[in-house]
Amino acid sequence: MESRMEGDVFSGFGERYQMDGKVLQSFQKSFVQVQDILDQNRLLINEINQNHESKQADHLGRNVGLIRELNNNIRTVASLYGDLSHSFAKSIDASSEGESTGTNNQKRFRSG
């Protein structure tokens, strides 16, 4: 379901804007990285909750490291989204400039 949703987003985007296929592949790669980290965070949160509910000292102590890992993952996701936002804006600007001057030499990307 996730790949279908990503495909729908990218095919719609590719139809609307002329973009290099490598740019879209880069976006997709970043979104997959983000999703992988978010999936890992879900597992970390579940383990943190279980450790908290157990109220055992060693489990609670382990939560310190798990929470640090969770915080680092959140920073990484925020950074990836920041990079995506910057790349997206740059790509849209380049696409818009090419359309307005009629000199856009980029290949049009269409997913099948």
pTM: 0.68
Give the angle 32-29-72 at the CA atoms, nearest 5°.
Answer: 60
The answer to whether position 53 is within a domain reads: yes
Range of the domain at 39: 29-89
- In this predicted structure, the answer to whether residue 98 has a pLDDT above a threshold of 90 is no
Domain count, the chain: 1
The answer to whether position 38 is within a domain reads: yes
| Per-residue model confidence as pLDDT tens digits over 29-72 | 999 999 999 999 999 999 999 999 999 999 999 999 999 999 99
The answer to whether position 7 is within a domain reads: no
User: Residue 94 — very low, low, confident or very high, per pLDDT cuts 50/70/90?
Assistant: confident
The answer to whether position 54 is within a domain reads: yes
The answer to whether position 16 is within a domain reads: no
- 32-59 residues labelled b (16+ CB within 10 A) or e (exposed): eebeebeeeeeebeeebeebeeeeeeeb
Q: What is the mean pLDDT of residues 70-93?
A: 92
